[in-house]
C-alpha cells in the first residue's frame, strides 16, 4: 500500500480549485519554505530569505481562506479564519522584523 502523509493530503485538499496541480504546488511551496528557512540561518542571505518568505506567505494565504470557508475541511485544517489571519500577521511581522533589521 502507498502511504500518503495525512498532513500533505490535507494541504493538497485546501489548495483553491482554480489553481492547477495542487500536489505539485504543495511540493513547490514546501521546498521554498525549506529554502527560506535555510536562508534565514545564513547571514548573507537572511534579508532576502525574509522578504521571499513574506511574499510566499502572502501567496499561500488564499489557501487558508479557502480552508476556513470549506463546509467540511480536513481535520487538521479546521482553524477559524480569524485565528489563521492572526497567526499569519505574526509570521508576516516576524519576516518584516528580520528583513528590516537584517536579523
Each residue of 10-52: pLDDT tens digit? 999 999 999 999 999 999 999 999 999 999 999 999 999 999 9
Q: Which domain holds residue 10?
A: 6-101
Instruction: pLDDT band for 78, please (50, 70, 90 cuts).
Output: confident
In a domain, 36, yes or no: yes
In a domain, 82, yes or no: yes
The whole-angstrom separation of Cα 67 and Cα 73 is: 6
The whole-angstrom separation of Cα 70 and Cα 25 is: 19
Q: How many domains does the chain have?
A: 1
In a domain, 1, yes or no: no
Quote the pTM value.
0.85
In sequence order, the 6+-apart residues with CB closer than 8 A to the CB of 37 are: 49
Amino acid at each position: 500500500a502507498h502511504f500518503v502523509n495525512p498532513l500533505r493530503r490535507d494541504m493538497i485538499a485546501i489548495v483553491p480549485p482554480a489553481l492547477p496541480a495542487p500536489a505539485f504546488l504543495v511540493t513547490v511551496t514546501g521546498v521554498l519554505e525549506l529554502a527560506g528557512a535555510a536562508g534565514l540561518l545564513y547571514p548573507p542571505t537572511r534579508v532576502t530569505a525574509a522578504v521571499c518568505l513574506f511574499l510566499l506567505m502572502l501567496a499561500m494565504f488564499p489557501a487558508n481562506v479557502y480552508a476556513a470557508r470549506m463546509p467540511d475541511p480536513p481535520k487538521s485544517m479546521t482553524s477559524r479564519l480569524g485565528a489563521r489571519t492572526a497567526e499569519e500577521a505574526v509570521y508576516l511581522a516576524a519576516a518584516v522584523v528580520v528583513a528590516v533589521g537584517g536579523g
